[in-house]
Amino acid sequence: MKTIRTITTRKLMLLVLVVCLAVGLASNFGAGSAGAAGSAPQPAAGFTDQTGNQPDPLTYWTPERMASAIPYPLDGLAASQPASPLPEAPAGAGQPGWAPSRPPDGYTGDVVTNGKAGTVPAPKPTGANVTAYVPESKVNTFPYRPSGKVYFTMMGRNYVCSASVIGENTIWTAGHCVSNGRGQFHSNWIFIPGFDNFTTIFPGPWFVSYYVAPVEWTRSLDLGYDYAIVGLRPPAVVNGKSIRSFTGALGFAWNMPRAQKWTLLGYPMLTFTGSNMVYSNSTHWTDNPLYNPASVGVGSAIKSGGSGGPWILNFQLNKVGQVNYLNGENSYISPTVDEVFSPYLGDRAKQLWDCSQGPTPMLNWDCFSGSAPGNLRLGYDPGRAPARPNALFSYKFKIQNPDTATATGVVFTDTISSGIVSATLPGGSCDINDQLVTCRLATLRPHATANVTMVVNAPAVGGSIDNLAAITFDQLQKWDVQEFFSTDVKAGK
């Protein structure tokens, strides 16, 4: 039987031991639901075989592996927290605004055209905030239906998070659900929309086209910027339709007053099962000024498993338009009381949202003026020769500097699905560690191009050579980006 927990918020002690919200559970969707073959040896719980080629996420995520996924640790994060509050810009100093939520295809419900995201501060809570299961009859209604579960691999271990659809082919989640905060993105990543007790009415899983996250998180573990957007590649069965066409998409609100009431969603474990969506009706309670901007805190029992789940402002059931705005996400918790924190979503978060709202899973790089990859461009050149099964295949990545200044400390990384034979960068150096290639180039002059040449063993016919590639460099950057590139393997001589 599902139980309802009622909790009372308590004031947070500012120096908290941060606990990640991710936790694992089982599922069985489509081709990804097939069990492990025969009596073959199984990896230890939470681990994946790193000795061979990178697995295909579609077939890798069996119910057993989903069940063995574990909470994602933020090791060393407490030590990385600032010893004293950072200089803080006034919360909401930017111009507040909101963009409407969008319906799924075929939607026949209400469309609100005169709603507001909320501009009048709400009072501090005096009663309890309720955290409970979303009734199963409502999980596939708006605005619950854009939320779902995320699975991924980092350093050989399997983890899960929560996320929600906010664009045609984009989802919003916590930064630690895409990157370890030490310069490396996660791999083997999938999103299952509408996850409910091991079922969903939507096609899936959906795969990564790109990750984008603020460098304050990806390199410095700054919880004030613990958010990210993931561009999605659709499964073949949807014939190129966007994920929004199935789930709808939450709206987005930025630079809002801190004193608000939100509905939080996610898939927490501990006192909940982790297999069903949970909501909290929560009101602003406190802030953590150790970060700039200060994190926003509410009372909620959403804990392990809820990372990346949305904070919905102006929650209205079965309505789209000027209602149901994403205005935060589950980031970290207090270890002693039922409180959940979100980064404050200001101008930086608005820029990230703006640059990811195209109809296809591609970023608008012009939005990222003056930040990577705004002045270093990454191109993919598969060459003229097709990839043949079980044969060597050579291709290139082109790192271009269209700027008028020399880029220094250029680092290229690529996680590759097929067996790597070699990686070369004239004028630089490349290292291979299992399926990860890291190439370094001291300088790249204005208007110059550096070519990273890859040679891999192509898989069998019908497969593909998949790459998740990224570039960083010493100059001021605001975003770290990892993009997906792929070449199909075709029969022939």
CB contact at 8 A, 417 and 430: no
- Could you tell me the pLDDT band of residue 274, with boundaries at 50, 70 and 90? confident
List, in order, residues 6 or more apart from 464 with CB less than 8 Å away: 417, 486, 487, 488, 489
pLDDT of residue 36: 21
Please indicate, yes or no, whether residues 438 and 478 belong to a single structural domain of this protein.
Answer: yes
Q: What does the pLDDT read at residue 126?
A: 44
Number of structural domains the chain divides into = 2
> What is the rounded average pLDDT of the residues 272-297?
88
Choose one of 313, 333, 368: the last residue of a domain.
368
The answer as to whether 299 is a domain residue is yes
Do 100 and 185 sit in the same domain of this protein? yes
pLDDT at 188: 87
| Cis status, amide bond into 446, omega within 30 of 0 | no
pLDDT in tens, 124-148: 444 457 888 999 889 999 999 999 9
What is d(CA 201, CA 12) in angstroms, rounded to the nearest whole number?
39
Q: Is 252 in the same domain as 399? A: no
The closest alpha carbon to 266, from 348, 360, 331, belongs to 331
- Same domain as 320, residue 257: yes
Is 493 part of a structural domain of the chain?
Answer: no
**Domain ranges, residue 414:** 369-488
**pLDDT tens-digit readout, 471-493:** 888 887 788 888 889 999 988 76
pLDDT at 283 > cutoff 60: yes
Let me know: does 401 contact 379? Beta carbons within 8 Å: no
Residues 233, 331 share a domain: yes
Of the residues 368, 393, 427, which one is the last residue of a structural domain? Answer: 368
* Structure-model confidence comparison of residues 182 and 451, the more confident one: 451
Q: Which of 334, 368, 402 is the last residue before a domain boundary?
A: 368
**Same domain flag for 145 and 185:** yes
Q: For residues 48 and 101, state if they share a domain.
A: yes
Tell me: pLDDT of 404 over 80. yes
How many Å from the N-terminal Cα to the C-terminal Cα in the chain? Answer: 60
Residues 374 and 266 in one domain: no
Chain centroid to CA 147: 12
CA 181, CA 218: separation in Å to the nearest integer?
4
48 in Cβ contact with 460 (< 8 Å): no
Whether 114 and 322 have beta carbons less than 8 Å apart is answered as yes
> With 0-12 CB in 10 A as exposed, 13-18 as middle and 19+ as buried, what is 108?
exposed
Angle at 400 between CA 396 and CA 405, to 5 degrees: 155
- The span from the CA of 20 to the CA of 23, in Å, is 9
- Residues 212 and 306 both lie in one domain: yes
Instruction: Assess whether 343 and 438 both reside in one domain.
Output: no
- Residue range 188-201: mean pLDDT, rounded: 88
CATH number of the domain to which 428 belongs: 2.60.40.740
Token pair, residue 304, equals 């392990």
Among 78, 250, 79, 289, residue whose Cα is nearest residue 163: 250
Residue 313 and residue 333 in one domain: yes
- pLDDT tens across 106-122, in order? 998 899 988 766 544 44
Q: What is the pTM of this model?
A: 0.83
Winning range, highest mean pLDDT, from 68-72, 89-93, 250-254, 270-274: 250-254
pLDDT at 39: 23
**Residue with token string 């055209």:** 113
Whether 325 and 349 share a structural domain:
yes
Instruction: Give tens-digit pLDDT for 35-49.
Output: 222 222 222 222 222
User: What's the pLDDT tens digit per position in 319-350?
Assistant: 999 999 999 999 998 877 888 999 999 999 99
Q: How many CB atoms lie within 10 A of CB 364?
A: 11
Whether the pLDDT of residue 52 is over 50: the answer is no
